[in-house]
Chains A and B, each alone.
Chain A
Amino acid sequence: QKEVEQNSGPLSVPEGAIASLNCTYSDRGSQSFFWYRQYSGKSPELIMFIYSNGDKEDGRFTAQLNKASQYVSLLIRDSQPSDSATYLCAVNPLTGGGNKLTFGTGTQLKVEL
């Protein structure tokens, strides 16, 4: 079983709709969870992180965490064509020194006009 799993997509949504991206993780001891966005040919950049159960909102983005179900999601409201990218879920498993992020394979999102 992979440590962090995401549906590779592509996930296609119409402009203005809500995009829902999902991620599951295997390490129950994981403490913090990150969503990165990666445009084609570019490096990943952080959208937001979450470490408490429940929802965390930042503008059009909402991260949701359910530690009991080992599930984290990202909702993008009012999706725009500029949101078309690959979204990477990352988990800090809290093992060893430092924070060693483990990434999922990413979900490709396409927002269509």
Chain B
Amino acid sequence: DVKVTQSSRYLVKRTGEKVFLECVQDMDHENMFWYRQDPGLGLRLIYFSYDVKMKEKGDIPEGYSVSREKKERFSLILESASTNQTSMYLCASSTRGLNTEAFFGQGTRLTVV
């Protein structure tokens, strides 16, 4: 059974804190993604990685950074959390190619107070 696991389901952090969201996949996928999902805005790509140590900015990278030191793990870092980063964060992974399915983790609902 394919699996993408996010470290936390719910997280509450204070403004200004450094926040780490972790994602692990067990399918040996090359690609990994971080999205955030907000009502009325859909899924927006923050960053993605197509190989270890490789990353590309998505549509909304400001205020975020990522780390991929191992193939199976992709971390999203909020350098200094702000209230406008309160959202549902979804990690996904896929193999390379045009028609490959992206598998999603269960999501992390982050609240910044």
- Binary per-residue interface labels of chain A (62-96) against chain B in the complex, 1 for a CB within 8 Å, 0 otherwise: 00000000000000000000000000101010101
Partner-B contacts on A (CB < 8 A): 8, 31-32, 34, 42-46, 49, 51, 88, 90, 92, 94, 96-106
User: Provided the pairs A43-B105, A51-B98, A98-B96 are in contact, do residues A103 and B54 lie with their beta carbons within 8 angstroms?
Assistant: no
A43 with B106: CB separation less than 8 A: yes
User: Given A43-B90, A105-B40: A99 and B100 within 8 A (CB)?
Assistant: yes
Q: Which residues of A contact B43 (CB under 8 A)?
A: 44, 88, 103
Are A104 and B105 in contact, CB atoms less than 8 angstroms apart? no
Q: For A99, list chain B residues within 8 Å (CB).
A: 31, 94, 96-98, 100
Q: Which residue of B lies closest to A97 (CB)?
A: B50
8 closest A-B pairs by beta carbon, nearest first, are A98-B50, A105-B42, A43-B104, A97-B50, A103-B43, A98-B31, A32-B98, A46-B101
Which residues in A have their C-beta under 8 angstroms from that of B45?
100-102
